[in-house]
Amino acid sequence: MRVLFAAPHGYWSRWAPALQAACPEMTLLRESDPAVIDAIIYAPGGEISDLSPYVNARLVQSLWAGVERIVTNPTLTQPLARMVDPGLAQGMAEFCTGWAMRAHLGMDAYAQDGEWRNHLVPPLASETPVTILGTGELGRSVAAMLGGIGFPVTGFSASGRAVPGMRVLGADQLAEALTGARILINLLPDTAATRNLLDAARLALLPQGAWLINPGRGTVLDEDALIEALDSGHLGHAVLDVFRTEPLPPEHPFWGHPGVTVTPHIAAETRPETAAPVAADNLLRAMAGQPILHLVDRAKGY
């Protein structure tokens, strides 16, 4: 099996050993005659953007969970699989849980200034409802961790498809999902339907003092509307890990806003040691003509 590694140069040293160890049947190549390539391992930023010569490739396996930078490529005719990495899901769950606990416990209320504020007693997790926008692999992992602590978790997805152990609301119930959230976590993908979903009108539906945690996609959020909601005191705080422009420009108002915590797109990382076996499984499935896991729906964009 000849597999083309179509990813930025810096990926090779980290990914090649893990991929080859996970799939000894594979010959991993950085360049080759397109006609002999059986599958492609892909990440945005590599040298290859035209996939049309790879007529014999049975699979394009993304190394990223998000596929918005390849799914619209008009030269992509091969099946495309997104990466569902258990290490990434674990990292995302830990990130969201950590910041949710900061919001829930009111950790910022205890200034180290000599004042004894023992009247500020944190609530129990059962008193702090959380809504997660997006109930895919990442959303379910976050919900499981938060639910295990005792938070009442509601999920939202366009389909409203049931998820065991979590209340899920569908496309026509977004207002209900927002009004019930003391903490809102966005894990929606970047699609035409999700861009600017969290605009001024929808942010206004959140309860007074609610927190927003966004490690999903920056395009979901109307940045100006968020600043207005924070300045008015309607929202308590926003933890933002993803942005429309990355790196976030130094002059961007988020950097200096007291109601915003900026993290530099580090909420979750695809880890070669946990992701390589997932890619290997899909490569072997493609070669054997078996169903491919995590296949992307081109119409939906994810």
Q: Catalytic residue positions?
A: 217, 265
Q: How far apart are CA 286 and CA 295, in angstroms?
A: 11
Q: How far apart are CA 88 and CA 92, in angstroms?
A: 6
End-to-end C-alpha distance for the chain, whole angstroms: 27
Q: How far apart are CA 271 and CA 290, in angstroms?
A: 25
Is residue 54 exposed (0-12), middle (13-18) or buried (19+ Cβ within 10 Å)?
A: buried
DSSP string, 213-251: EE-S-GGGB-HHHHHHHHHTTSEEEEEE---SSSSPPTT
Nearest to 134 by CA among 126, 145, 143, 147: 143
Q: How far apart are CA 7 and CA 64, in angstroms?
A: 11
Which of the 8 DSSP states describes residue 166? B
Residue entry with tokens 């990440």: 43
Structural element, H or E, at residue 255: helix 253-256
